[in-house]
Structure 1
C-alpha cells in the first residue's frame, strides 16, 4: 500500500513536473512568437569573421574634476641655475674696399713748340718722371744743355734759326723727343750764335752802326738790348756738370742798320796755353750754317788779356786787347 502510494506520489510528481515542463514550453513558445512579431527581420545578413567582438563604446561621461588635496608642506624646487650672460658682440666691421690697383704714371715726355713774334719759338717741355734731369736741346745746329725743374718741366724762348723750326730734346737715357713749329711765312731776321762746352768759354758782343768796339752801348751780356733793336740771348745752364752754352745775337729789324758780331775769349788760368773749341751758327734768309771754331790761347803769362775775333760775318780775324 505504501509502495503504491509512493509510486503514485512519484507519478504525480512526475506528472506535475511534466505538466510544468509543458507549461514552460508553452510560455517559451508564446514569448518567442511575440518576440518575432515585435522584432523586425533584417533584410540582409552580412557574415563577419569569427573572433572577439568589440564591446560597444560607452557613452561619454561628463568630465570629472578631481582636486588634489593640499598638503601642509609644499615640495621645494631645486634652485635655478642662471646661465652666464652672452657676450655683447661688436657690430661687424665694415668691409674695407679693396685697394685699387696702382697705376703706373705716364712718363712720356711732351714737347710743345709755339711760333711767337720776332721769329721766336716758345718751348714747353713736360717730363714728369725726369725731375731735375739734364737735357740737351738741338735746333738748326744749335746745341745747349738745360736742367728740368723739380716737376720735370722746362720753359724758354728759343730764337728760330731756320724755317723748319724743329727742336729735339735728348734725355739722359738717350731717348729723344722731337717737335716742330714751322715758320714758312715768317721772314726770319739775321742771326749769329757762338756755342761751347765746359771751360772753353766765349763771350759774344755786337758793334752796331756808328759804334766802336768797347763802347758802353755795344750789345753784350751787360746790355743785351740796343736802342736800334738788336738783342742778345744766352742759353744753357752753367751750373750743370757738363754745361753746353750758347749766345745768339739778332740784327735790328731795320735792314739799313749794320752790325758786326765779335767773339771774345778771356785768358784765364783755365783757358791759358791751350786751344778753345767751339762752333758758330749763322742764320740768313731762314737757312743756318754751322762752322767749327778753334782758338789757340796765349800762355799763362798773358792772364787777363782778351782775344777778340771780329769780321765774323765774313772772314774771321784775330786781334788781341790788353
Structure 2
C-alpha cells in the first residue's frame, strides 16, 4: 500500500491515579539479583494495602526515586498511597504522539511493497515484508496498540513472529517516508492465552519479569528476556514465554517485551507474579523515562497503563528499580 501514513495508537487516558510499589536496590544487591535467593524486600504497609511503597531491606539503599506517574484507561477509582520517606508523585498523564522517525528517506515511486501474515502455534503470527526498493531501511510495526522497530535486510525483506493481541490481527508496517503495507490474519486461539506487554522507546532499561507459581529470582519459573526459553513446556502448558521485539541496533528504537501464558492448558493453579524492572544505566540516569503496558486476558478488553518515571542520578548506576504494580499478577486455574 503506497504512501501509508504511520498510525500511532497511544490510548487516551483518564485523570485517575493508580498506586504502584517500587523497590530501589543498590549496585551490590543488583549484582546478585538473579542468584538462588530472592532479594530481601520489606512487607507492604500495615492493613494489607497492596499499593504501599516497598523498600529493599538493605542499609545502603538509595532512595532517590521521584516523579512516578501512572495512569490507566480502564481504572475507575482513585487509590490512596501511604506517606513514605521517598517522594512519590502520582498524577494523570496524557499520551502524546511519538517523535517522528529519524532520517526519513523517500522510496522510489516504482517500489512495490507487500506483506503477508500467517497464524502460528501459540497464538503467534508470522509476518513477512517484501520491499525490494528499501534495503536496510527502518520501519515501525503497529499491532493493536503495540509498536516496535524493525529493519529490512539487504534485499529489502523482513520477517518476524509477533504474539497476537486480537483474533482479527492487523499489522501495519510503515517506513519513515510514509510508505508501507498492511496485512491481516485470523488467530482463532488468541483467547486461550494471557498476555502482558511492556513497550518503550530507546535505551530506557526496562525489563518485564514473570515469576511463575512461587518461583524466586534465578530459579526455574523466573522468566525474563535473559532467561532460556522452554518451548516444550510452553506447548504443554507448563510454563509461559517471553518474546522481545525491536531492533536494538537502530537509533532510538521502539521496543516491546511480551509475556504469554497458555491459560487454558495450565496443568496447575497458582499465581504468576509480574513486575517491571529498570536498571539505572549511563544511558538513562537522571532522565525521565516512559513506558506503556498492555494486558490481554481471554476475551476481555485490552487494558492499558502508562508510566513516567524519573530515574535517579548517575551515582546510582548499577542499581535497579522494581515496579511491583504496573502490571497485574496473573491468577491461573488448573484445567
**Scaled by the length of structure 1, what TM-score is found?**
0.61
**Is 1:285 aligned with 2:289?**
no
Report if aligned partners of 2:221, 2:239 keep a CA contact under 8 Å in 1.
no
Aligned match of 2:320: 306
Partner of 1:205: 209
- Report if aligned partners of 2:164, 2:190 keep a CA contact under 8 Å in 1: no
1:124 pairs with one of 128, 135, 149: 128
Structure number having the greater strand percentage: 2
Instruction: Return closer, same or farther for 1:266/1:129 CA change in 2, 3 Å cut-off.
Output: same
Equivalent in the alignment of 1:229: 239
Cα pair 1:140 1:288 within 8 Å, conserved: no
Look up the SS of the partner of 1:158 in the other structure.
strand
Distance in structure 2 (CA, Å) of the matches to 1:267 and 1:156? 30
Contact 1:160–1:188 under 8 Å retained in 2: no
Secondary structure (helix, strand or coil) at the match of 2:140 reads strand
What does residue 274 of structure 2 align with?
Answer: 261
Q: Which portions of structure 1, spanning 4 or more consecutive aligned residues, are displaced by more than 6 angstroms?
A: none
Which residue matches 2:250? 240
Does residue 174 of structure 2 align to residue 170 of structure 1? yes
Asked if the contact 1:217–1:223 (Cα under 8 Å) also holds between the matched residues in 2, the reply is no
- Report matched runs for 1:17-56 at 5 Å: none
**Quick check: 1:107–1:129 contact (8 Å CA) kept in 2?**
yes
Q: Which has the larger radius of gyration?
A: 1
Task: Give the whole-Å Cα distance in 2 for the aligned partners of 1:292 and 1:241.
Answer: 23
Residue in structure 2 matched with residue 271 of structure 1 by the alignment: 284
Partner in structure 2 of residue 56 of structure 1: none
What is the 5 A alignment of 1:97-136? 107-136=111-140
Distance between the aligned counterparts of 1:173 and 1:122, measured in 2?
Answer: 25
Partner of 1:123, secondary structure, is strand
Deviation at 1:220, TM superposition (A): 1.5
In structure 2, the partner of 1:49 is none
Output one character per residue of 1:164-209: Cα deviation in whole Å (capped at 9) or x when no partner.
Answer: 2011001121123111112246534100111111122211111110
1:251 corresponds to: 261
Asked if 1 retains the 8 angstrom alpha-carbon contact of 2:139 and 2:174, the reply is yes
Structure with greater helix percent: 1
- Structure 2 distance, partners of 1:126, 1:170, is 12
Contact 1:162–1:288, Cα closer than 8 Å, also in 2: no
Deviations 1:94-138 (A, max 9, x none): xxxxxxxxxx99522111000112100010110111011001000
